[in-house]
Homo-oligomer: A and B are copies of this chain.
């Protein structure tokens, strides 16, 4: 059972995991290697508690702390006022509860491939909110895991965790260090790698019948899109039919349409 401890001094060093979040958790040099994993709000905190990440502690107003099942936890749960929380965190937090956890080692890419039938593979997705949305969409639409290629940001950054509704803590991800060699590896493991592109020459998504196969959907960043080398390393390029003169969809939205259509 978590130990509930009341704290009223915002300077108390026991609250340091939660201090100055708007700046501190951008720094990968914080304790825990690449920084702590921070969950905000009851739903996301519950997902952190159920995740493989080792929880270090919680901070919240009494009503929120009491809404959580802390029976299996052996960490402190600090209770304070909304004002003290805002002073510690550095901004007003209307979700009323936070949890901090250490990082866990990333899943090796080959292991993730072996136990997945549907993957999202990302290249250059540097926007934390897009990254979080992709994990949320992946969880909803039956994607087993996410592979992070070059140029992707940290999915465990606080804002990604929040936008994903905590699904970055549930959907396993792996880092692809070798690029685009990782795509060849996926092919050797039986995946069809389908690159999503706005190119007019690519066939429509609906015409690529990949159901029943192991599929890796390759998504690039919104602006520049996928690199030439990534598209060439894919088995097939497909596009979402779109009105002319309109910018492409947001990468997370395009990904959701592709997950729906291909998987």
Contacts and interface: CB of A to CB of B under 8 A. Distances in A.
Interface of A: 43, 133, 136-137, 139-142, 165, 167, 240-243, 246-250, 252-253, 256-257, 260-261
Contact of A256 (B43, B140, B165, B256): B256
Nearest to A252: B253
Contact of A140 (B43, B133, B137, B249): B249
Nearest to A247: B165
A137 B249 contact: yes
A206 to B, nearest CB: 9
Given A142-B243, A165-B247, 17 more contacts: A133-B250, A133-B253, A136-B247, A136-B249, A139-B243, A140-B242, A140-B246, A140-B247, A140-B249, A141-B240, A141-B242, A141-B249, A240-B260, A249-B256, A253-B253, A257-B257, A260-B260
Contacts of A136: 247, 249-250
12 contacts: A43-B247, A133-B253, A136-B250, A140-B240, A140-B243, A140-B248, A142-B241, A142-B242, A240-B260, A249-B256, A253-B256, A260-B260
A104 B85 CA distance: 45
Contacts of A257: 256-257, 260
Nearest to A258: B260
A248 B136 CA distance: 9
A140 B222 CA distance: 14
A257 B241 CA distance: 12
Contacts of A248: 140
